[in-house]
Amino acid sequence: MGRKLDPARKVKRGPGRKARKQRGAEEELAGFLPPDPDDNVRKLSSHARRRAAKRRIKSVKLQTNKNSRVLQKVQAAKNLLSEGANKKAKLQVGHQAGFSDENASWLTPGKKRARSKEDESAALSDSDGNEGPWESDGEEGSMDGMVDDYGASSSSDEEELLPIEKASRKDKLEGEAFNEDDSEDEEESPPHQQEEDTDKDADLQLNVETDERFVLPSGQEIEKEVAQAPDLQLIHQRIKDNIEVLQDFSTKREEGHSRQEYLSLLRRDLAAYYSYSDFLIGKMMDLFPLSELVDFLESNEVPRPVTLRTNTLKTRRRDLAQALINRGVNLDPLGKWSKTGLVVYDSSVPIGATPEYLAGQYMLQGASSLLPVMALAPQENERILDMCCAPGGKTSYIAQLMKNTGVILANDSNADRLHSVVGNLHRLGVTNTVVSHCDGRQFPKVLGGFDRVLLDAPCSGTGVISKDPTVKTNKDEKDILRCAHLQKELILSAIDSVNAASETGGYIVYCTCSVMVEENEWVVDYALKKRNVRLVPTGLDFGKEGFTRFKERRFHPSLKSTRRFYPHTHNMDGFFVAKLKKFSNAIPKAVKDEESNGEPAVQAEEASSAPAAAEPLPQGRKQVALKAAKKPTAKQGLSAATPTKAKGSPKGDKQKKQASVSRQGSFQKRTRPSKAARPSPGGLKARPTHSKKRKLHRGHQ
């Protein structure tokens, strides 16, 4: 399914930087690589030239054809030649010039200049095509007098030669053969930088040319492509080119093609390359600017880092970190914004089955799921409702923040997933919780008058594609709207179960793991219109602001205070958090004029100005009931959709455990992944510094 699994797309393999240090490997490789004289003559350092010559000698030996044997003889003879003989060789070559190592070592003043000359001449010899690469060895010693000449010579010569150089460069680029020698030299020889710069210039020019050459494939081409299996490499390149054109459309566009054509091609390519459904890619393109779009899709292909939350009811983060480090777990604090989170880089033991885990000292939990609880900010001795609680991570975090005081009602509509809730709550030592199995939409009827409500609504899961890639293909417009409808019902019942008169609370936190506007801003905007609530700042100092306008939709301006989190910017699951404050228990009468976009309908009839929130609210319920009666089919669909909460299967924990088991083998390396693997809200600013991390580790040891 995923791009990663595609066998056709292979990463280029070859000796890396380290492989170079192993003797023998390069010799072997030389046997595999075809001797490519044209490439190597250019900008070889003296050392590299010598090595290349050796290598080639060997590779030539391997060749069986007669030609090569003859060459070998010639070459052997040449190697034996004395300096005098070299001069003869020079006569043969004519105007060729070059430097040996010995000369280069003491001819420092004119070095760079001379080298570039040498290269040019080499390029010339290339164009002749007669010379073997090792021939340049022959010119050593002859250059003593010429250095100054060349150093002082005008640049006209150079300019003359440059096109040739370019041509050879182009040849090289076109020829697919990857030259290992070349890359070696670039690392090895810093004095070459100047000329490399000129090369880069040439490169840049070439790039521009290719960009300008990017043309939209015609209809026939596309048809042909559809018939064949897609060439992912080609598509990837086309996506890159296309985006580059689109970002600077007025200058880079091709005449006669509209932006729409480019966009539709891009959409098709993205859908094919990342294997999304056409609908979802369209949605994503609406949501993200082009510069971010590929980043987002790319980050959906890699898993988020494993994070865990310390259970402060049983232990402290410092102690837990120490205990886990002793078990061979490589971890770090999550970030400045969390006092309990830890990031796990790698582990020699399954992180979901350590005795510490079983003793309830921590909970495996995504970084993003800490955020809504922090936004909820539960206080001690409050009554709190968690409407969709499975698998209990957020619920236990609430209990932890309340220090096991007060009461939490943990509700979920899926009985199977409640097993894990009960297990987790008991394991973590949470004692102030009642676990119930009700439909969230009936809520104020079951129980009301809560101080705070956390609604982690079931959603399409478009923020957690890295966890569940099936979302890519199995969601369409209808699913999204169905989710949105369910969410609207849930948010209304969540608001209705809060007591606005509460001294400490009266807050509702709405969150989803979706990035769709339909499931987030739209739902909150709907709630603002239907109930006496207003948006308040979430208390999270990072994350992106919610949309106040999206395509044809215009939302309440206060939606700025909601927060969005993305995998590519914050390295956590895509997430949306909104915090609402209820300021009156009265339910406004159904507003007829939908276009009144201003204050959330305060033309409420103040019939019952201060009803106790625990009491049922007859008017609102009747409305809901009426609605339900009107659309029985929709209801059925909804109830079917209710259990499909895409946040993770009921055995999410177990899966994690298995994953960590499989990771066990790769621990020998003990390489610490790059900093990018850590969820780091706010980019560089919020990342804990390296020194701090050291301090923590030392503190434990």
Partner 1 sequence: MRPLTEEETRALFEKLSKYIGENIQLLIERPDGAYCFRLHKDRVYYLSERILKLATNVPRQNLISLGTCFGKFTKTQKFRLHITALDYLAPYAKYKVWVKPSAEQSFLYGNHVLKSGLGRITESTSQYQGVVVYSMADVPLGFGVAAKSTQECRRMDPMAIVVFHQADIGEYIRHEETLT
Q: Interface residues with partner 1 (CB under 8 A)?
A: 323, 353, 355-356, 358-361, 383, 406-407, 409, 415, 418-423, 425-427, 429, 431-438, 446-447, 654, 657
Instruction: Give Cα 138 to chain centroid, integer Å.
Output: 53
Rounded to whole angstroms, how far apart are CA atoms 558 and 244? 35
**Do residues 48 and 189 make contact, with C-beta atoms less than 8 angstroms apart?**
yes
Rounded to whole angstroms, how far apart are CA atoms 543 and 545? 7
Residue 640 tokens, joined: 């079917």
> CB within 8 A of 586, min separation 6: which ones?
532, 604, 605, 606, 607, 608, 609, 611
- What's the angle, vertex CA 267, arms to CA 266 and CA 273, rounded to 5? 85
| DSSP per-residue letters across 328-392 | TEEEEEEETTEEEEEEEEEESS-TTSSHHHHTTSEEE--GGGGHHHHHH---TT-EEEESS-TT-
Closest CA to 657 of 398, 354, 238, 267: 354
Per the rule left: phi > 0, alpha: psi between -120 and 50, beta: everything else, 115 is alpha
Closest CA to 348 of 335, 331, 336, 364: 331
**Do residues 529 and 488 make contact, with C-beta atoms less than 8 angstroms apart?**
no
Closer CB to partner 1, 426 or 553, in the complex: 426
Q: State the nearest-atom distance from the C-beta of 380 to partner 1, in Å.
A: 12
Please list, residue by residue across 390-416, b when 16 or more beta carbons sit within 10 angstroms of its beta carbon and e when fewer do: bbbbbbbbbbbbbeeebbbbbbbbbee
Q: State the nearest-atom distance from the C-beta of 446 to partner 1, in Å.
A: 7
> CB within 8 A of 45, min separation 6: which ones?
185, 188, 189, 191, 192
Closest CA to 284 of 511, 517, 487: 517
Binding-site annotation: residue ranges for S-adenosyl-L-methionine: 388-394, 412, 439, 456
Among residues 459, 483, 511, 513, which one is catalytic?
513
DSSP conformational letter for 595: T
Binding-site annotation: residue ranges: 388-394, 412, 439, 456
Q: State the nearest-atom distance from the C-beta of 523 to partner 1, in Å.
A: 26
Is there a catalytic annotation at residue 438? no
The three state secondary structure string of 539-573 is CCCCCEECCCEECCEECCHHHHHCEEECHHHHCCC
Instruction: Give Cα 350 to chain centroid, integer Å.
Output: 25
Closer CB to partner 1, 280 or 418, in the complex: 418
**Do residues 93 and 125 make contact, with C-beta atoms less than 8 angstroms apart?**
yes
Read off φ and ψ for residue 333, nearest 5 degrees: -65, 150
Rounded to whole angstroms, how far apart are CA atoms 551 and 564? 18
Rounded to whole angstroms, how far apart are CA atoms 520 and 576? 7
Closest CA to 50 of 98, 114, 112, 108: 98
Instruction: Give Cα 174 to chain centroid, integer Å.
Output: 32
- Beta strands at 383-386 and 407-411: parallel, antiparallel or unpaired: parallel
Rounded to whole angstroms, how far apart are CA atoms 450 and 153? 88
Q: State the nearest-atom distance from the C-beta of 653 to partner 1, in Å.
A: 8
- Beta strands at 563-565 and 544-545: parallel, antiparallel or unpaired: antiparallel
Closest CA to 394 of 372, 423, 416: 372
Rounded to whole angstroms, how far apart are CA atoms 202 and 43? 14
Residue 381 tokens, joined: 């001795």
Catalytic residue numbers read 513
